[in-house]
Each structure stands twice: as structure tokens, then as C-alpha cells.
Structure 1
């Protein structure tokens, strides 16, 4: 493990760049709800539609970047002297924190009932304040008086979340539920892949076996095209043992977790290819992307491309995009063509903070009743509006980071 630890100890800026670019586009497409006349090629495909828009690519690319970071995070802990038990606790606590943040965001996205004792804007403000109180990175706090208050901040944050969970009533009258949202899906994929890496990083063939198992699950459990019956190959009655066993790991049909495992395998492969020239490394990564593209084309004969159904062609096509995007970021890093990155860097270094900030702006808009003129909510002006909003969110995250406000799970 010593050689890999030394490799992973070096920060890989290409990962930060890919994560930041992905987050920029994620905020951009997530803001489409406030505009209309969005070109279909930028939107999500509808359920059952054989299509993949830009919005369908972003989330899996982020899952891929999560996987890229896992070996670095774990190996750096080893170089700092942390033992496996400590790392297991870290993985569990990080998974739990992502689940909590995900479930509070996920429950809020459908709106609140009229008799809820606060507006959705107040909910979002209290939610973000609680997140910061509990999970802020307090490592740079030097004032001893403030350091003594940190446990109190955390307790207050927990109490706020408990109040929101107990008093929450959804728009349809529902109570607070296990609606994990995007962050919840990330947490399950992270937990599975981080645990597998922790167990088998010294027997790396088992990481490949894990990826193969995830793909096999997807092959067996993803519904085929209508001309091939429209059902999955393993179409067992509900309540069967196999589905129950798979559900224990919260991996669905395996596709979302496979994106994260793909990132883990790429980082692991980079360590193996360390002595190769950069051009040869890029060659092998691009070749892997082209193989993934070919596999996507083959699978497309039997399954549709659809994000909601998490189909196999969607998996392989986006894996190709992820591999090529990483290669591009690494090429730009190698030739020092990274000046553009400084404008969106906080999205790569304060990612969770960046993800949460839009809810503060949406809350401010709701509380102040500020709305955009119709001319800025459709067509090209609307898209420009969403893009500038994404930039504003990232710059706000950078400002918060300078104020030592940074969510760190």
C-alpha cells in the first residue's frame, strides 16, 4: 500500500476541475424550473422516452467524480496514521450526514402544506443554518471562545432539524419521510464503493468483480425494450428473496453505484499507470471510453436510453462521457490551461456548500416576492439567467469559504 499511498497523497487537480464543472452545470439545469421553453436536448428525458438530454448526464458524472475521490480520501487517511476502524467510522458518519442533508432537501422539494407553521422559505433558511451549525469545517477557528461554543452550535443545529422533521407537512399532507433525494442516492453509492475499496484495495481484482456484479444486476433487473417483452430478464414476483437481498445495499438496479465504482477503478488505474507517459495514460483512458461507447451502442439494441429507468445504454454512454471529460481536464492541467478554473473553483472545493446555496437564494426570492420579468424566463435569455445564477451561487460559495463557512462531512 505504500506506493499507492504516495501516489494518492498528491492532489489531483483534474478531479477538482471535473467536480467543479459538473456542479456548475448541475446548478444550471436544476434552475430550469423557473423558466420555460427550454430546448429538449438540455432537459431530462421523460419516463419511458428513449432519449438522453444534458440534464441526464450531469448527476451520473458527479457520481463518477465521487468515485474518483474515494481512493484519494482513504489513502490520505492512511498516510496520516488513521487505522481501518477509524476510516470505517468516517465512512459511516459521512454516509449518515449525506443521508440527513439529502432527506431534508428531498422532503422540501414538493412544497409545504398551507397549515405548516412556517413557509418553505423559512424551512430552507433554518435547514441551511442547521447544516452549517452541525457540519461546518471549524478547523480554522482559532478564537478559543468560539471554539468553546462549537458543541453548542451543533446541538442547536440538531434541535432545529428535529423541529423541522416533527412539524413538517408536505403539500399533500404527508409527514416527514425517507425521501432521500439526490444526496441520499449519492450517499448509498458512496457507502457501497468506499466500503468495497476499504476491503479490497490490496486485492484490486475484487473491485473489478464488484463492478461486473453491479452490471450483471442491471442486466437482469432493467426492463428490456417493448419488442423484447418490456420486462426485466429476472422478472420475479414482488417480495422475492433476491430483490430483498439487493435492497439491503440500497443499490437499486446497480447502475448508479456502477458510476461511482467506475470512478474508483479509474483512480486505482491511474496509480497503476503512474510510470507511463501522460500520452499513454490518456490513450488508455480514451480507449476505455470508446469501449464503453461501443457497449452502450450494443446495449441500446435491447434497452432504451433513459435516466429515470437507469438503463444500461445510459450507464455506458455516460461512462464514456465521464472518462473523456476527465481526460480533457487532465490534459488542460498538464498543459497549464487552467485559468478558467479559478472562476468556478469553489464548486470543486466547497461542493456541498455550493449545492445548498441555491436554496438560500430561492428562500430570499420567496420572502421578498421578487420575480423575474417574463422576458428573462424563456428561450435564450432564460438560459442565460440560469447560467448567471449558477455562477452567482459558486461565487457565493467562494465568499462563504473566505468567511470559514464550508460544509465538510
Structure 2
């Protein structure tokens, strides 16, 4: 594959950091009462979306933007495509496992049948995740690293052992969670990139094929057996298309194959806008169902927003403000799960993070904004201490 820039791409970092900051904000906002509808997730059958419904697809878009650079970094280390795919499978597996555990910590449990509270269960689970996947100081010995990873593995296995669902059931993939959905879409998109390379037209055709696959499987809704299971996972197809769209945008902006970047960006935004309009005539807009209309609208909005960031940062070189988003950009996984860790820690002692007076209306909105900024500041401090969670 042709060489991409080897340095970190500041515009992608800014877009990632801003998206993560908004994600933490809207996650906290979900617990606030008496807020406008445009600050909430739309119901599955609403045929509408808000900026809240754009946060998850924006993160999928950014995952795709990062893939070409991640692949090149592995190639520079001497990895062949098989080794790169193996590394990707390990990363995806980690995301799926964390997402699986997170989903079961939120619902589907029978706390009365468990030997510990769900808050303590969640806290041990998150510390096990940190032990398994956090970075370690360079001076640590192999024995120290093995001990830490073993402790994390034992912790997750122990939490799986003590988990109880209704009627003596076990942990279930009620859904894969945000991280799990990202993991599935990431590994599929990585495989597509390894096969197609930096050929934008081919990757675009593959992305549209996943939209077509969604439409095909949608017609099989209600089937039982293996087909029914596949249909239930149909939304993964539009998630993959979202990741591939970010990958394509990244190549348009940075691949040496593309000579007229401005024209390429404009064309990509215009085409996705037209496709989104056409999709809205066929499907309702629904994040919950991950309809093609929602996915293509998300691509259009994400591509448009990133085009602005690209112009400001990469073309006009206005970069002084970018440091605001550096903590979240450098450690997105940690800042995503940090609020859940704090919630579990507080719940273990019977405390709550948010006072009741800040759980409604304007006060709640302001609380959510301050909370998100505080999480970013806390992660910045953890970064300085060398605490990073990265798959």
C-alpha cells in the first residue's frame, strides 16, 4: 500500500476527542429528566434522529478513519497482512468482551441470587478490564506484566462465575453494547481494507454492498433458526458501512493516490447526501434499528463536520485550540468507561454521583456538561500518571 503520513493526524485526533467528549455528555444526560426531545435518543419508530443519535456513528466513522494509519504502523513494524489481521482480531475480541460484560452489568441480572452486589460486581469487572488491557511502565518485567494480566483474567472469570440471571440463567448477549458493536464492525472493515487496499472506488462499492445486504436480510425478518440469528444481527451491516465510510474519508484526505483532495471531499459529501436522501424515501430513520437512512445521514453529517475540521486544522493550520481535545483523543476507551467505574464505586458504598437537585432540566444539562469536562480533566491526569487503556 502507498505510504500515508507517519505522524499523528491532528484533525482526526480533534474529531475523535470532541466525539468522545460529547459521548460522555449525552451518556450522563440520559439520566436527566425534563430536557428537550432534541437532547434525547429518538425512539426506534420515530423516523427521526437528534445529535445524540449521531454520536455513536461518529465514533464508528472515526474508527474507520484510523484503520489505514493503524495498518501502516503495523506494516512499518514488519507485520504481514496475516499478522495484522491477527492483531485486529485480538483488539476486536477485547472490545466485544468488555461490551458483553458492560451490558450484563446494566441489565439481565438477578442481584438477589448473587453473593455480591451488582455495583461491587461491576467495580471488580472494570478493575479486571484495566488489569488486562491497560498499558504498563516500560521498566516492568515480563513476570510483573504476566501477573497483572493474570489478575485481570482471573477477575473476569470470577465475575462470570458468580453472575446470576433470572431463573438461574447466565450472562447473555442481550445486545453487544457500544464497544462490542464497534468491535464487530472494526474487524469486518479491517478485513475489507486488507483485501481492497487503498482503492477508494472498490471500498465504496463494498460499503454499499453492506447496505444492500441489510436490505436483503430485512426481508427475511421473522425467520427462525440460523437465518433468524443472522437477521437479528442485521444492524451490524450498516455499522460496517459506517466504519468503511470513515476509512474512505481518511484515504480521500491523506492517501497519495488522491490528487485533488478538495474535489474528492466535496464529491464524497455530495454523494453521501444524495444517497441519504434516497434512503430516507425507502426506510425510516432509526438509530435503534440501524436503518440505512440513519447510517447514510450519519455519514453525510460526519463527513461534513470532519471536512470543516480538516480545513481548519490541516489546510489553514489553526492548531492552538486542538490541545483541548488531546486527553480524550489519546485515551478514548478509558474516558468512555471511567464514568461507569465511578458509578460502580459509588454504588458499592450506597452513594450516588449526581445530587437529586441536578437531575432535572437546565441544572441537569449543566451538570452533564461539567461532568463531561471533569472526566476529560481526570483522564488527562491519569495520562500523566501513565494510566492508559488501549486495545
- TM-score normalized by structure 1? 0.87
Per mean C-alpha deviation after superposition, the further-off stretch among 118-127 and 11-20 is: 118-127
Show the 5 A alignment for 1:290-309. Answer: 290-309=270-289
- The answer to whether the 8 Å contact 1:64/1:262 transfers is yes
1:137 to 130, 135, 138: 135
- What is the root-mean-square deviation of aligned Cα atoms in Å? 2.4
Corresponding residue for residue 184 of structure 1:
180
Corresponding residue for residue 32 of structure 2:
35
- The answer to whether the 8 Å contact 1:166/1:176 transfers is no
Q: Does 1:156 align with 2:151?
A: yes
What is the CA deviation profile of residues 366-406 of structure 1, one whole-angstrom value per residue up to 9, with x for unaligned ones? Answer: 22524544332111110111111111112222222222211
Corresponding residue for residue 330 of structure 2:
349
Determine the C-alpha separation between the residues in 2 that align with 1:378 and 1:241.
Answer: 45
CA drift at 1:244:
6.5
CA drift at 1:112:
5.0
What is the CA deviation profile of residues 266-311 of structure 1, one whole-angstrom value per residue up to 9, with x for unaligned ones? Answer: 22223446774xxx52443234223322222222222211111111
2:319 to 308, 322, 338: 338
- TM-score normalized by structure 2? 0.91
Corresponding residue for residue 387 of structure 1:
369
Show the 5 A alignment for 1:345-384. Answer: 345-366=326-347, 367=349, 369-370=351-352, 372-384=354-366
Determine the C-alpha separation between the residues in 2 that align with 1:137 and 1:198.
Answer: 27
Determine the C-alpha separation between the residues in 2 that align with 1:345 and 1:271.
Answer: 21
Show the 5 A alignment for 1:144-293. Answer: 144=141, 147-170=142-165, 174-179=169-174, 180-201=176-197, 205-222=201-218, 234-235=219-220, 238-239=223-224, 252=235, 254-272=237-255, 276=259, 281-293=261-273
2:60 to 60, 63, 74: 63
Determine the C-alpha separation between the residues in 1 that align with 2:228 and 2:245.
Answer: 23
**Gap change, CA 1:236 and 1:50, over 3 Å in 2:** closer
CA drift at 1:341:
3.0
Per mean C-alpha deviation after superposition, the further-off stretch among 177-186 and 112-121 is: 112-121
What is the CA deviation profile of residues 197-223 of structure 1, one whole-angstrom value per residue up to 9, with x for unaligned ones? Answer: 11221655432331121121233344x
CA drift at 1:251:
5.4
What is the CA deviation profile of residues 96-138 of structure 1, one whole-angstrom value per residue up to 9, with x for unaligned ones? Answer: 1111111111111126522322223212221121111111112
Determine the C-alpha separation between the residues in 2 that align with 1:275 and 1:71.
Answer: 14
Corresponding residue for residue 227 of structure 1:
none
- The answer to whether the 8 Å contact 1:112/1:119 transfers is no
1:128 to 126, 129, 134: 126
Please state whether the residue corresponding to 2:122 is helix, strand or coil.
helix
CA drift at 1:325:
1.6
What is the CA deviation profile of residues 173-192 of structure 1, one whole-angstrom value per residue up to 9, with x for unaligned ones? Answer: 64212342111100000010
Per mean C-alpha deviation after superposition, the further-off stretch among 52-61 and 388-397 is: 388-397
Determine the C-alpha separation between the residues in 2 that align with 1:348 and 1:171.
Answer: 39
1:399 to 369, 381, 391: 381
Number of equivalenced pairs: 387
Q: Does 1:44 align with 2:41?
A: yes
Per mean C-alpha deviation after superposition, the further-off stretch among 370-379 and 24-33 is: 370-379
Unaligned runs of 5+ in 1: 223-233
